[in-house]
């Protein structure tokens, strides 16, 4: 349900933002038109795209390579050894799961209403078109004249674009030229395409009054942008154009309402809007040439929407520092040796893993796959005297996924995400024929020896973990320059590879020891 609410919140923000912008005239209407379309697209796309964001951020960059949906086909259900099997690849959750049946009902209702509204209009338009006579073609647009029409209108049906003119316009050459220019501009601005998209959008969000406001404001912006563009042409004077608009408005007042699915001069002729359009023509305005302001507004709009959207990533459950501490105590009682630090970063990562549906899914999937490797990896960790908590390292490196195929030669690979260079240092063969990083036994053995080496050098498991991620040299440089041997101090001073790596590893270690917290 949460996605559903956020979707509606986004609409409110978008509608209000657009309304303010169209009233204040801070930017040219043409720019506003583009901006409003981006906002509508964001409002529609963000909730749909949400489920795909968190996954990427949960895994390390190298693990993402194996996490991409495109890889799933190539993913291997069994490891090379045969004895060790990898768990199922995970499915992506769709936001529809968050909508309950009531939401689905509202959607169905909205689409039905849209269908009922649009179908007769379409038939009528088709009828009008067949009863009209072609005048000429301008580009892809066909200009036609109809006896039955009182106001000009334009519409698009699939790839064909039409302008229908009332017969009476032919006699008035000036108005005829202005009307054709106006309608062509609507086609050029792609208003005739957007009108369909907006109708569907309105249908999908039928119960939200702000979506109607948003659609209305967008229609206004279309008209304003159209006027603005036309008035820049030399042959069009504000006086003649405004007069033409007034005459059309007068005719429109006496005739039936404009058809759904069309744009046209009369659509923008309703009372207050017409007045504002004429005011706009009279009061010309200079806009700052720089796109800086527009950029700033777009950034604000984007950040607002993303901020709202990302709420769904966060926290249907909250892990406090106290709970984290108790997890650590449990771990210690169970004989954990890894020196987990409870600080804000670790708590934050813990919350990402435990507090969001996506995080839980990631961890659960990793733990399920880990079960297959656990006896072997544990025996190796013991053999080299490493803390059992390093079982959590492949969780954050690969999610315990081991592909069959070698990755790109420069990418890291395998459960432990070795780079080719490190792998060769620890005696693994990586060449065109064989990639032993994908051999779980050899890779695990190599990783354990690497970790043991790092600990021999730094004599600190946190520093060793950091070095596993960003290299020994950088860690050494950090120690030399800061004079501290505290991994968290190094992180603070900017000696980072993946800055969340250590926190993520410790959070995963805590969960590994207390898997019940996922329930």
Partner 1 sequence: MKKKPERLLTGVELEMMGILWRRGSGTVNDVLEALPPSRKLAYTSVSTILRILEQKGVLKSHKEGRGHVYASVVKKSDYESKTLRLLVDNVFDGEPTHLVARLVEAGNLSEEDLEAMRKLLGERGE
CA atoms within 13 Å, Cβ hemisphere of 232: 11
CB of 134 to partner 1, least distance (A): 7
Nearer to partner 1, 183 or 191 (CB): 183
Minimum distance, C-beta of residue 133 to partner 1, in the bound complex (Å):
5
Regarding 138 and contact with partner 1 (CB under 8 A), the answer is no
User: Is residue 254 a contact point for partner 1 (CB under 8 A)?
Assistant: no
Calpha distance 501→475 (Å, rounded): 14
In whole angstroms, how close is the CB of 188 to partner 1 at the nearest point? 23
Q: Measured from the CB atom, is 180 or 440 closer to partner 1? A: 180
DSSP letter (8 states) at residue 494: T
C-alpha to C-alpha distances, 234 to 138, 158, 230, 362, nearest whole angstrom: 20, 33, 9, 62
CB of residue 167 vs partner 1: minimum separation in angstroms? 5
174 or 515: CB nearest partner 1: 174
- Contact call for residues 514 and 327 (beta carbons, < 8 A): yes
Q: Pattern of binders to partner 1 over 140-169, x per CB under 8 A? A: -----x-x-------------------xx-
Question: What are the tokens at 513?
Answer: 């020891």
Backbone angles phi, psi at 253, to 5 degrees: -65, -35
**Phi-psi region for residue 15, left (φ > 0), alpha (ψ -120 to 50) or beta?**
alpha
User: How does 376-413 read in b/e, with b if 16+ C-beta sit within 10 Å?
Assistant: bbeebbeebebbbbbbbbbbbbbbbbbbeebbeeeebb
HEC profile for 117-135?
HHHHHHHHHHHHHHCCEEE
Q: Does 173 bind partner 1 (CB under 8 A)?
A: yes
Q: Are 200 and 114 in contact (CB under 8 A)?
A: yes
- Shortest Cβ 259–partner 1 spacing (Å): 20
Degrees, nearest 5: CA angle 267-268-271: 110
Q: Does 135 bind partner 1 (CB under 8 A)?
A: yes
Residues 176-205 that bind partner 1 (CB under 8 A): 176
171 or 480: CB nearest partner 1? 171
- Per CB under 8 A, the segment of 99-107, 170-178, 207-215, 483-491 that binds partner 1 is 170-178
Minimum distance from residue 162 beta carbon to partner 1 (Å): 16
CB of 181 to partner 1, least distance (A): 15
CB of 185 to partner 1, least distance (A): 21
**Contact flag: residue 255 with partner 1 (CB under 8 A):** no
282, burial (CB in 10 Å: exposed 0-12, middle 13-18, buried 19+): exposed
Distance of closest approach, residue 20 Cβ to partner 1, in angstroms: 44
Q: Hey, what long-range contacts does 94-102 have (CB within 8 A, 24 or more apart)?
A: 94/51, 95/3, 95/47, 95/48, 95/50, 95/51, 98/1, 98/2, 98/3, 98/4, 98/312, 99/1, 99/3, 99/4, 100/1
Q: Does 133 bind partner 1 (CB under 8 A)?
A: yes
> CB-wise, 149 or 463, nearer to partner 1?
149
Q: Whole-angstrom Cα distance, residue 52 to residue 490?
A: 32
Nearer to partner 1, 129 or 276 (CB): 129
Q: Binding of partner 1 at residue 170 (CB under 8 A)? A: yes
Binding track, positions 91-130, relative to partner 1; x by CB under 8 A: ---------------------------------------x
Binding residue (CB under 8 A) for partner 1 from 23, 112, 119, 131: 131
> Which residues of the shown chain bind partner 1 in the complex (CB under 8 A)?
130-131, 133-135, 145, 147, 167-168, 170-171, 173, 176
């Amino acid at each position: 349900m949460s996605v559903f609410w956020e979707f509606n919140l986004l609409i409110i923000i978008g509608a209000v933002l657009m309304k303010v912008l169209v009233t204040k005239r801070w930017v040219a209407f043409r720019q506003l038109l583009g901006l409003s379309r981006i906002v509508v697209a964001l409002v529609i796309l963000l909730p749909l795209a949400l489920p795909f964001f968190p996954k990427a951020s949960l895994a390390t960059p190298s693990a993402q390579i194996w996490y991409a949906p495109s890889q799933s086909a190539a993913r291997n259900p069994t490891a090379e050894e045969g004895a060790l099997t990898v768990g199922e690849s995970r499915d992506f959750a769709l936001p529809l799961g968050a909508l309950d049946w009531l939401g689905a009902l509202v959607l169905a209702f909205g689409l039905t209403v849209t269908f009922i509204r649009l179908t007769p209009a379409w038939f009528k338009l088709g009828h009008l078109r067949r009863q009209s006579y072609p005048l000429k073609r301008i580009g892809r647009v066909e200009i036609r004249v109809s006896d039955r029409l009182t106001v000009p209108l334009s519409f698009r049906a699939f790839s064909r674009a039409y302008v229908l003119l009332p017969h009476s316009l032919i006699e008035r050459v000036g108005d005829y030229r202005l009307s054709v220019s106006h309608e062509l501009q609507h086609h050029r601005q792609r208003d005739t395409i957007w009108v369909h998209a907006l109708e569907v959008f309105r249908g999908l969000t039928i119960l939200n009054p702000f979506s109607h406001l948003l659609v209305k404001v967008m229609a206004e912006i279309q008209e304003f942008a159209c006027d603005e563009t036309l008035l820049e042409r030399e042959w069009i004077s504000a006086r003649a154009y405004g007069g033409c608009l007034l005459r059309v408005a007068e005719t429109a007042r006496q005739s039936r309402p404009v058809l759904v699915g069309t744009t046209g001069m009369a659509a923008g002729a309703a009372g207050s809007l017409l007045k504002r359009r004429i005011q706009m023509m009279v009061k010309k305005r200079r806009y700052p040439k720089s796109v800086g302001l527009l950029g700033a507004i777009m950034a604000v709009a984007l950040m607002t929407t993303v901020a709202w959207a990302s709420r769904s990533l966060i926290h249907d459950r909250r892990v406090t520092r106290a709970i984290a501490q108790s997890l650590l105590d449990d771990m210690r009682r169970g004989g954990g040796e890894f020196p987990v630090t409870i600080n804000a970063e670790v708590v934050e990562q813990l919350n990402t893993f435990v507090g969001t549906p996506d995080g839980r899914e990631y961890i659960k999937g990793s733990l399920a796959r880990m079960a297959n490797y656990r006896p072997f990896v544990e025996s190796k960790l013991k053999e080299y005297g490493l803390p059992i908590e390093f079982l959590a390292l492949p969780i954050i490196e690969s999610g315990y996924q081991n592909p069959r195929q070698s990755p790109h030669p420069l990418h890291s690979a395998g459960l432990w995400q070795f780079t080719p260079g490190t792998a060769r240092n620890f005696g693994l063969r990586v060449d065109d024929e064989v990639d032993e990083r994908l051999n779980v036994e050899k890779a695990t053995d190599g990783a354990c020896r690497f970790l043991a080496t790092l600990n021999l050098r730094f004599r600190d498991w946190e520093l060793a973990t950091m070095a596993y991620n960003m290299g020994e040299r950088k860690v050494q440089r950090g120690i030399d320059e800061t004079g501290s041997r505290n991994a968290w101090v190094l992180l603070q001073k900017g000696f980072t590879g993946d800055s969340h790596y250590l926190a993520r590893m410790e959070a995963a270690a805590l969960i590994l020891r207390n898997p019940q917290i996922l329930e």
